[in-house]
Amino acid sequence: MKIIQNFTDYHEKTPLALSIGMFDGVHLGHQSIIRKLNAISEKKNLESAVLTFWPHPRTIFNPNDDLKLLNTLDEKTYLLQKNGIRHLFLKEFDEAFRNLNGEEFVRQILVKKLNVKHLIVGYDHTFGKNKSGDFSLLRKMSDECGFKVEQVEAVDFHEKHISSTQIRNALAVGNVKEANEMLGYIYSVSGKVIDGKKIGRTIGYPTANISSDPLKLLPKKGAYIVEVFVKNRKYKGMLSIGTNPTVNGNSLSTEVYILDFNEDIYGEEISVNFRDFLHEEIKFENIEKLIERLDEDKKLTDNFIF
């Protein structure tokens, strides 16, 4: 997949089949758009392309909004490539760009700069300053500007449209199973193993402290059953997101106990797949009660069918 940033070095005139959006999560709704895009590009001998924005426009409009994303940029790039996209345009949502109205965006960007011949948009897609562009405008301009446009219907889950917001909401309450169903794959978090307080090793449960991307959304505080990937090997694990209230912790950490594992992995990059929610974060009366619960969680994790 070819990655083009800000159009600066893009001077090709390759005719494109394009879709536009944040594609945060590259969930089942996005995948439906991509399948349509790939089918059109193959049928019409066009290159498939996605135009997305980095950083997220909400961080520009609402700089105080502590927005967390389903995908890091690397994750989103990987998922789009995996789904068959040939060109990825990463556009910074700068002042000049955000001031383009819908019609200017179509003429200057889609037609003149990118040579779009077929455009696929989602059911609720809007664009341009003050959301002045929509499917109705695209349909009106398509004949004059020499491109075709199609709108893809929403994909539903439990009678609701799948969206990045719905998935964030599911993760915010610890419902990783529902989030995974809407994503069409298993939600994961990656990061380097860093030094922690090393309390776990004193009670028989040494954990790997994961330093993840600060923009990456972590599920709700609590304990989870996870798959852990270390040095291309897969293990079962029990992961905790929280502040370790039993030992009077006060900073948020993501720690994973890896079953049947005893290696020094400080500095290693690891990733975890969230498979099930075990329980809320608990402040136990004492360390003994904590160990009892860890023993119980370990049994549940060991017996979990991956």
C-alpha pair distances (Å), 154 with each of 78, 164, 179, 182, 192: 23, 12, 17, 12, 37
* pLDDT tens by residue, 161-215: 999 999 999 999 999 999 999 999 999 999 999 998 778 889 999 999 999 999 9
Specify the pLDDT at position 95: 82
Q: What is the DSSP letter of 153?
A: P
Q: What does the alpha-carbon distance between residue 259 and residue 227 come to, in Å, rounded to a whole number? A: 10
pTM attached to this predicted model: 0.95
Hey, is 243 helix, strand or coil? coil
C-alpha pair distances (Å), 203 with each of 14, 126, 228: 61, 54, 21
43: pLDDT strictly greater than 80: yes
Q: Which domains does the chain have, with CATH numbers?
A: 2-161 (3.40.50.620), 186-303 (2.40.30.30)
Specify the pLDDT at position 78: 98
- 52 pLDDT band, cuts 50/70/90, is very high
